[in-house]
């Protein structure tokens, strides 16, 4: 299979956009835009980020604390800044519990190093989450090599996890009902 063909298949999976932040060798804030992020465990509280071995951030993360900044929909310029297209003005930083964090993110997870694993041309970093903050802002998404916002919810999502879902709930689409006022009382006996 050709590399580009596999990349196109991977691109069919919509993901959130994160910027992984840490400190560089000089103690300065550093970040890298990453879409390979996932929750791993609630107990213990773990998450995973995967960085290409070629990135500077990959070298800074070995056995070091980091933060996962989930970009808000209006932070495309910040995501691009850390993807190699510097923006002016640059990002606004704040001190986080474990590593520098970016201001204005949809959410931030502050992590201590847990484990790292060989991931081929990437390194898989597992972090133990020591602090988690959510701003309530909508996230920035990445799909088919293009950034997107969340958009309007699907009409079917209104029924998510509801037992009354007309598509998968208590009754199927063939079920019919007779209103009480149309039933005769002698038929009920």
Tell me the DSSP string of the chain: --HHHHHHHHTTS-EE-EEEEEE-TTS-EEEEEE--EEEEETTTTEEEEEEETTSHHHHHHTT--EEEEE-BTT-HHHHHHTTT---SS-PPEEE-SSSEEETT-SEEEEEEEEEEEEETTEEEEEEEEEEEEE--PPBEEEETTEEEE--SPPGGGGGTT-TT-TTTSSS-TT-----GGGS-HHHH-
Closest CA to 100 of 61, 66, 75: 66
Residues 6+ apart with CB under 8 A from 112: 65, 98, 127, 128, 130
Read off the pTM: 0.78
More confidently predicted of 165 and 153: 153
pLDDT value at residue 178: 74
Task: Name the CATH superfamily, with its identifier, for domain 3-159.
Answer: Electron Transport, Fmn-binding Protein; Chain A (2.30.110.10)
Share of the chain above pLDDT 90, in %: 63
Q: Are 65 and 111 in contact (CB under 8 A)?
A: yes
Mean pLDDT of the chain: 87
More confidently predicted of 143 and 81: 81
Q: Is the pLDDT of residue 183 over 70?
A: no
pLDDT value at residue 3: 83
Per domain, the residue ranges of the chain are 3-159
Q: Is the pLDDT of residue 53 over 90?
A: yes
Q: How confident is the model at residue 188 (pLDDT cuts 50, 70, 90)?
A: low
Tens digit of pLDDT for each residue in 101-152? 999 999 999 999 999 999 999 999 999 999 999 999 999 998 888 888 877 7
């Amino acid at each position: 299979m050709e590399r580009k063909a596999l990349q196109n298949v991977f691109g069919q999976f919509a993901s959130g956009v994160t910027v992984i932040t840490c400190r560089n060798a000089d103690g300065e804030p550093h970040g890298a835009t990453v879409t390979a992020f996932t929750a791993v465990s609630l107990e213990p509280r773990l998450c995973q980020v995967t960085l290409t071995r070629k990135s500077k951030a990959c070298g800074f993360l070995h056995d070091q604390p980091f933060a996962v900044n989930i970009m808000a929909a209006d932070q495309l310029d910040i995501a691009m800044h850390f993807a190699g297209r510097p923006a002016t003005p640059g990002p606004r930083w704040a001190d986080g519990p474990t590593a520098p964090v970016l201001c204005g993110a949809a959410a931030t997870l502050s992590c201590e190093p847990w484990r790292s694993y060989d991931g081929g041309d990437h390194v898989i970093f597992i972090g133990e989450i020591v602090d988690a903050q959510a701003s309530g802002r909508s996230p920035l998404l990445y799909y088919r090599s293009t950034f997107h916002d969340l958009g309007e919810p699907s009409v079917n999502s209104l029924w998510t996890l509801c037992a009354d879902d007309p598509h998968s709930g208590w009754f199927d689409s063939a079920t019919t009902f007779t209103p009480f006022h149309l039933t005769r009382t002698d038929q009920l006996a």
